[in-house]
């Protein structure tokens, strides 16, 4: 066997010996030297600590056995077991009855297991756990309010109702929510109708006929009379002797277009509810059984209610958005009160999204079609000439509604970085108003974000700016 082989064998054996050797576990102890205690004795609940004294003692006593239990291991060693959170005193007496020392014993909750559970349940959260008298103190910076709630709930398992929360939520915790309502409504209506009137008179009486709607034949001097609601009408009438004949042709086409756009913005702290109303309140009377009239107010306009919660990098958002306006076409009249109805578009949902992301929480495409045909019985079925005894109209309405929400994590900014619509203009002087006819004077701040926006005119973008 060569020297090189012997060296390799020796190193290998040394490695195995080192791996097999396990140093003995050091027991947690407190030493009493010359009657002086090094520190207060802290004992976790349901765990034990050994107290060693360099002076042999003859007698031991514990002030409150309900907090800690003691037993003698030797004439210089004491076994202290924590039973309940609290403070008590351990007294050591010498054989001659003199006092060796008093040891302050503090039994605290076992935070070691709590630390392990927190690392398992909330990995990555920097939560510090400390015992405090008979309770637990939690401190550190976490990523969300939900992490704080979970940590407190877990700590209450170890120290019920004795948990002090000193934790803080790090990062941005303010959410600005932008809601966009976009609605397009189109309506088309067409109608075509024919009305005829025939009247004849004689010495012994008269005979007459009227078909369709929109005209009738009065006296000979009156001719053809149009109804007040008749639109797009062409009338033709003639008479011969005592016989008069009139034809009324009604042709009408109407088109309508409505565009609605609303963009409410609202900022709130994570976990806090916020509401927004831009509109008004409509009085609605109500009569009780005794005849008394009470008035309550219904809000209308742009309504936004939201509760954001920042969970790590995500934003959990519970919101209700609504756009409404008074609609007199669906009102009622009762007991002398005229009450209008409301045209409302709303959506309520809970979504989760990241900073700057958007969701379409509502979308509606509606297409309504209705037609109506009226005719004089039998005469309307006659080919060609039957059209003179028929009327027809149809109506089509289309509407499209989309509600989009966008969430942003925001932080406060300096006041000079914000601009208002009123920053652009200022009231004119009397000379400018009366002599020159100027109703508004452009105000142009020199510096800041407000100045940049104020330099724009009303032909471009306007509003407020956040930097």
- Sign of the torsion formed by the C-alpha atoms of 122, 124, 126 and 131: positive
pLDDT tens across 400-441, in order?
888 888 999 888 877 666 777 777 778 888 888 898 888 888
How many residues are recorded in the chain?
A: 467
Characterize 227-236 residue by residue with b for buried, 16 or more Cβ atoms within 10 angstroms of its Cβ, and e for exposed. eeebeebebe
Of 46 and 408, the structure prediction assigns the larger pLDDT to 408
CB 179 within 8 Å of CB 405: yes
User: What span, in angstroms and rounded, lies between the C-alpha atoms of 273 and 91?
Assistant: 57
- In this model, does residue 52 exceed pLDDT 70? yes
Domains delineated in the chain: 31-108 (2.60.40.1080), 111-169 (3.30.1340.30), 418-454 (no CATH)
Q: Looking at the DSSP assignment, which residues form a beta bridge with residue 198?
A: 209, 245
How confident is the prediction for the chain on average, in pLDDT? 76
- In this model, does residue 16 exceed pLDDT 50? no
pTM of the model: 0.55
Quickly state the pLDDT bin for 217 (edges 50, 70, 90): very low
Question: What is the CA 207 to chain-centroid distance, rounded?
Answer: 73
- In this model, does residue 110 exceed pLDDT 80? no
CB 352 within 8 Å of CB 405: no
DSSP string, 398-432: EEEEEEEEEEEEE----GGG---GGGSEEPPPHII
Residue 100: which of 33, 30, 42 has the closest Cα? 33
Helices (H) and strands (E) in the chain, counts: 5, 27
pLDDT tens across 63-100, in order?
888 888 888 888 888 888 988 888 888 888 888 888 88
- In this model, does residue 45 exceed pLDDT 50? yes
pLDDT at 466: 42
Q: Angle between the 145-155 and 111-121 helix axes, to the nearest 10 degrees?
A: 140
């Amino acid at each position: 066997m060569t020297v090189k082989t012997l060296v390799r064998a020796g190193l290998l054996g040394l490695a195995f010996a080192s791996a097999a050797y396990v140093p003995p576990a050091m027991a947690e102890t407190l030493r009493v030297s010359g009657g002086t205690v090094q520190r207060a004795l802290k004992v976790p609940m349901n765990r034990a600590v050994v107290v060693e004294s360099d002076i042999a003692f003859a007698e031991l006593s514990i002030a409150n056995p309900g907090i800690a239990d003691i037993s003698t291991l030797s004439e210089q060693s004491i076994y202290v077991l924590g039973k309940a959170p609290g403070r008590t005193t351990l007294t050591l007496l010498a054989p001659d009855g003199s006092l060796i020392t008093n040891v302050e014993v503090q039994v605290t909750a076992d935070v070691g297991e709590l630390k392990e559970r927190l690392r398992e349940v909330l990995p990555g959260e920097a939560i510090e756990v400390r015992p405090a008298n008979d309770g637990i103190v939690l401190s550190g910076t976490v990523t969300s309010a939900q992490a704080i709630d979970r940590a407190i709930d877990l700590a209450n398992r170890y120290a019920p109702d004795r948990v002090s929360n000193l934790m803080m939520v790090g990062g941005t915790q303010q959410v600005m929510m932008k809601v966009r309502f976009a609605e397009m409504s189109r309506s088309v209506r067409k109608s075509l109708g024919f009305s005829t009137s025939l009247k004849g008179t004689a010495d012994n009486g008269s005979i007459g006929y009227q078909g369709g709607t929109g005209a009738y034949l009065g006296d000979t001097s009156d001719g053809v009379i149009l109804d007040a609601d008749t639109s797009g009408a062409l009338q033709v009438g003639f008479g011969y002797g005592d016989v008069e004949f009139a034809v009324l042709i009604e042709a009408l086409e109407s088109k309508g277009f409505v565009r609605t756009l609303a963009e409410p913005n609202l900022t709130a702290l994570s976990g806090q509810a916020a509401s927004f109303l831009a509109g008004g309140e409509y009085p609605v009377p109500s009569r009780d059984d005794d005849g008394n009239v009470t008035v309550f107010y219904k809000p209308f306009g742009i309504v936004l209610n939201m509760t954001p919660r920042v969970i790590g990098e995500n934003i959990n958002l519970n919101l209700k958005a609504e756009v409404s306006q008074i609609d007199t076409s669906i009102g009622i009249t009762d007991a002398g009160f005229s009450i209008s109805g409301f045209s409302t578009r709303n959506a309520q949902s809970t979504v989760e999204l990241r900073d700057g992301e958007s969701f379409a929480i509502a979308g509606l495409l509606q297409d309504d079609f209705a037609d109506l045909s009226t005719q004089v019985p039998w005469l309307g079925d006659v080919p060609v000439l039957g059209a003179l005894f028929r009327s027809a109209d149809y109506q089509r309405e289309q509407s499209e509604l989309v509600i989009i929400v966008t969430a942003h994590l925001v932080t406060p900014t300096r006041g000079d970085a914000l601009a208002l619509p009123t920053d652009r203009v200022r009231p004119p002087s009397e000379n400018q108003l009366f002599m020159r006819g100027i109703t508004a004077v452009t105000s142009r701040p020199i510096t800041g974000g407000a100045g940049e926006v104020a330099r724009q005119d009303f032909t471009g973008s306007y509003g407020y700016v956040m930097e």
